[in-house]
Structures are given as C-alpha cells and as structure tokens.
Chain A
Amino acid sequence: DQQVKQNSPSLSVQEGRISILNCDYTNSMFDYFLWYKKYPAEGPTFLISISSIKDKNEDGRFTVFLNKSAKHLSLHIVPSQPGDSAVYFCAASLGTASKLTFGTGTRLQVTL
C-alpha cells in the first residue's frame, strides 16, 4: 500500500519557466512533508519541508504548497535552472517518529 504517490515519473521544463512537481498522500496522520532532490550516483539531499499546520513554505526559488483537504502537496521551482535537473522525492513523516515514507520520485529535466 503506497501511502505517498508521485504520479508523474518525469517532467520537462524550459529554463526560466516554472517547474511544478506534485505529490499525493493517503495517510491523514502525516504531519510533516519534505522534498528531497537526488542526482545520479548520489544520495537524496533535503530541499524544503512543510508542516501540516501550514499551507505554504518558501525558500528562495523553491516553494512548497500543501492542500490538506485534498491530501496533496506540490513543489514549485521558479525560475527553473539546468542545475535543477534531478529526481525529486516527496516524503512524509509522522511527527518526530523516525520513519520517512517516500514517493517514487519525479525526474525533472530543465532544458535550455
């Protein structure tokens, strides 16, 4: 049973445009959500997070939006840059419990 889903396996965006990556979850008990970025042959690196009590968190070019009623979150990257090309994983956490539940990832390709 996959509790965190990323339904788009890949996304291609032109440099300078907005990239929108989506994530859906089924467990309403999740109270923290994180986005990780992964380059080939490297481990995932933390990008940005959001608490379930908020609906938006912004950090530079990256903004995460949370819609609790729809159990949906999205990551916006504006403007997209070629260095943003990577696989992006959405993850959910149950408070300070150690377990992170990951989605299957979306491969973002930013083209020139």
Chain B
Amino acid sequence: DTAVSQTPKYLVTQMGNDKSIKCEQNLGHDTMYWYKQDSKKFLKIMFSYNNKELIINETVPNRFSPKSPDKAHLNLHINSLELGDSAVYFCASSNRGWDLPYNEQFFGPGTRLTVL
C-alpha cells in the first residue's frame, strides 16, 4: 500500500507533445506538491495545492498546468514539451497544520520524463 504513488514511472516522448503525470496519496494529507529534479540534481518546488487550492506557483512556464480534482490527487499536465523539460518529477504530500512545527513531506517514487 504505497503512500504516494505516481504514474507513469517513465515517460519518453517527442518535442511538441502534450503529456500528463498523475499523483495520488492515501495518507489523508491536505497538501500536495510537484518538484522537479533536473540533470544537475537540483530538487526544486514547482507547485503546491492545499485542499485543491493552488498556494505555491514558482516561476514555471505556463505550459505546466497542475490540476487537483480532490485532496488525494494532483496531476501535472505539460503542453508543447521541450528538451529542457527532461527531468525527474516528484510528487509529495504533507499536512499543512498551522500548529505543526515543521512540514514533513512524503515523496512519491518519481517520474522520469525524457523529451527527444
């Protein structure tokens, strides 16, 4: 019973295509995230949703559009894929409790996207 799952695990596609990555968490968390790990291994936040509401939107091209149909799901749709989009994309979740001292995030296994 995987806590945070992502599909697909690997995605190989051509430049210009549109693709989606799906994420689901069964931890009952109220906040979900998308991170991108590029070839230099930087792990950077892209988006965060709390109770289906977008709360963090870093400087990401608007070809990337997150969608949260419910608290347990956060999908990432990418339009007009470019070579530079090749990376590993990680989904994560947490409980954004205002009385919690910190924000432990639970990560999915990642989706390796390769754009040819």
Interface residues of A (CB under 8 A from B): 2, 32, 34, 36, 41-46, 49, 51, 87, 89, 93, 96-102, 104-105
B94 at the binding interface (Cβ < 8 Å): yes
A99: which B residues are within 8 A, CB to CB?
A: 45, 48, 56
Shortest Cβ distance from A45 into B: residue: B107
User: If A41-B109, A49-B104 touch, does A98 touch B50 (CB 8 Å cutoff)?
Assistant: yes
Q: Which residues of A contact B43 (CB under 8 A)?
A: 44, 89, 102, 105
A93→B107 contact, CB < 8 A: no
Chain B interfacial positions (CB closer than 8 Å to A): 4, 31, 33, 40-45, 48, 50, 55-56, 90, 92, 94, 96-98, 100-110
A9 — nearest CB in chain B belongs to which residue? Answer: B41
Main secondary structure of the interface of A (DSSP, over half): strand
A49–B98 Cα distance when bound, in Å, is: 17
A104 with B40: CB separation less than 8 A: yes
- Residues of A close to B104: CB separation below 8 A: 34, 46, 49
Q: Is the CB of B101 within 8 A of A98?
A: no
- Inter-chain contact B101/A44, CB cutoff 8 Å: no
Residue of A36, A43, A51, A104 near B101 (CB, 8 A) is A51
A98 and B102 contact, Cβ closer than 8 Å, known pairs A43-B108, A43-B110? no
